[in-house]
Amino acid sequence: MAAVDDLKFQEFDDAANLLAVNPDATTISVDEPSENPKTQHGLLQDTGREEDDELLGTDDSDKTELLAGQKKSAPFWTFEYYQTFFDVDTYQVLDRIKGSVFPVPGKNFVRLYIRSNPDLYGPFWICATLVFAIAISGNLSNFFIHLGKPTFHYVPEFRKVSIAATTIYAYAWLVPLALWGFLMWRNSKVMNIVSYSFLEIVCVYGYSLFIYIPTAILWIIPQKAVRWVLVMFALCLSGSVLVMTFWPAVRDDNRRIALATIATIVLLHALLAVGCLAYFFDAPELDVLTTTASAQNGTALVTKTQ
Amino acid sequence: MAAAEGSGAGGAAKPLFAGLSDVSISEDIPVEGEITVPVGSRSPDEDYSTLDEPVRDTIMRDLKAVGKKFVHVMYPKKSSALLRDWDLWGPLVLCVSLALMLQGGSADSKEDGGPQFAEVFVIIWFGAVVITLNSKLLGGTISFFQSLCVLGYCVLPLTVAMLVCRLVLLAGSGTVSFIVRLIVVMAMFAWSTLASTAFLADSQPPNRKALVIYPIFLFYFVISWMILTFTAQ
């Protein structure tokens, strides 16, 4: 056992040999970062890029986790805990709304505007405004469409407000929950660089619904073509914000799963718009003869069901 | 103390604290103070002992307080009466009367379409609670019930608008009556929003005022919509 040999750097692979030589020697094992079990399951081929990205990813998520931890330090049963979700100023809310309506190509809404300060003010009040905008616009548009008919009796249709509220709040809370769960599950299988917290996803979805408020008001115009053009336009704007936000989170995954996730996000967003249009806004009828005929049929149906 | 103990321990014959009686406060240091426990002023007790007064006085006092607040809402000035001496009688009376007036009169018709009594009640109270929570979460310094009080009292102009609308609808329901109703409701909506903003705006942090005022605007807008779309059967 030469002293020089002890000082020389020993390769890790020689440990088995060394132990074989001297089984009673004490051994210390040090965990190296590249031995992280997650990377063994990773599909990334390039280990160099993987380590770099991993460092970037852990740095970023560590920083955001630290920041988040510093902010939400109050226990959840105190009022101060919930105040941390409303820690925004007027100009911040307006900036976020602007960012959701005018998507900047290449910029991530979450990283650019939210920056680990997700708020619940925007999602909650945008959803509330959207509920009433859809209900009121639907009522107004139906009023104008059926205005000249002799059998028309105006009703405020207040029931539809509760239906609208249920639909929109369910969309704004359940879809982010499902998406967050899905992303967490994929995160455990594939090392993703970017991961969002639940509140950030709720925030993105809430602000992305803002474009539907002017759209709902413009849906009063009783032209089918105009309405569908508006749907397409709104969907393009807010859909692109969602896509640009969530693409970095799924891009490292299996190609088909990533595309399926993005497609589902856009599809659900479109479904909300089309569903609201179909349910709350009656189809505008262009022909006068068909309007009187359908009005009589409508009253006949109503009397029959009654 | 240690010296006394030491002397006590050292000289066992001497009693403890023997030297203490030699300690005296020199007389040129004035010793002052009150030993008597201050009795709480009895005047609030005497003023608020309301057991012996006639019932009419009690009721009239509360009614006058509510009436004074109504006047403060109709002529909003920076007064602290609404905030300091809050009460929820006024909002309750206004909410119930508004909900009653919004009844179409045909409660048996399912396709009536108008809001039911419970719906109006819940919208007003739940809306006021949500707005109060919102302003408190954003850092407002107003208390919960004070904010409820202000929001409830500022429904008064809209209740007046509802009364006017019902009277106008008795006269007829054509376009002219609609335009009159529209103007009245819009004016009262603006009055309500401005009155509540005048009372509530000061207690909000300065860079979040718009965030607090917008929900109030939405709240009164929804109530105005319910009033405007009221159709008599």
Closest C-alpha among B224, B228, B225 to residue B193: B224
Residue A293 neighbours by CB under 8 Å, 6+ apart: none
Cα–Cα distance list, B50 to A270, B45, B53, B57, B169 (Å): 65, 9, 6, 9, 46
Closest C-alpha among B145, B162, B166, B13 to residue B82: B145
- Contact list in B for residue A159 (CB cut-off 8 A) is 113
Q: Report the SS3 class of residue A268.
A: helix
Is the pLDDT score of A294 beyond 60? Answer: no
Residue spans of the domains in chain B: they are 55-70+79-105+115-232
Q: Is the Cβ pair A86, B231 closer than 8 Å?
A: no
Looking at residue B52, its pLDDT comes to 79
Is the ipTM higher than 0.85? The answer is no
Closest residue on chain A to B119 (Cα): A158
Across the interface, which of A89, A158, A302 has its CB nearest the CB of B115?
A158
Q: pLDDT digits over A30-64, tens only?
A: 544 444 444 334 343 444 444 444 334 444 445 44
The whole-angstrom separation of Cα B160 and Cα B150 is 17
The whole-angstrom separation of Cα A111 and Cα A90 is 19
Q: Is the Cβ pair B113, A83 closer than 8 Å?
A: no
Looking at residue A290, its pLDDT comes to 47
- Contact list in A for residue B225 (CB cut-off 8 A) is 132, 136
Looking at residue B186, its pLDDT comes to 95
| Size of chain B, expressed as the number of residues it contains | 233
The packing angle between helices A255-280 and A224-250, to 10°, is 150
Is the pLDDT score of B33 beyond 80? Answer: no
Burial class (CB in 10 A: 0-12, 13-18, 19+), A250: buried
Looking at residue A51, its pLDDT comes to 41
Q: Is the Cβ pair A79, B136 closer than 8 Å?
A: yes
CB A129 within 8 A of CB A213: yes
pTM summary value: 0.71
Higher local confidence (pLDDT), B35 or A69: B35
The whole-angstrom separation of Cα B216 and Cα B131 is 7
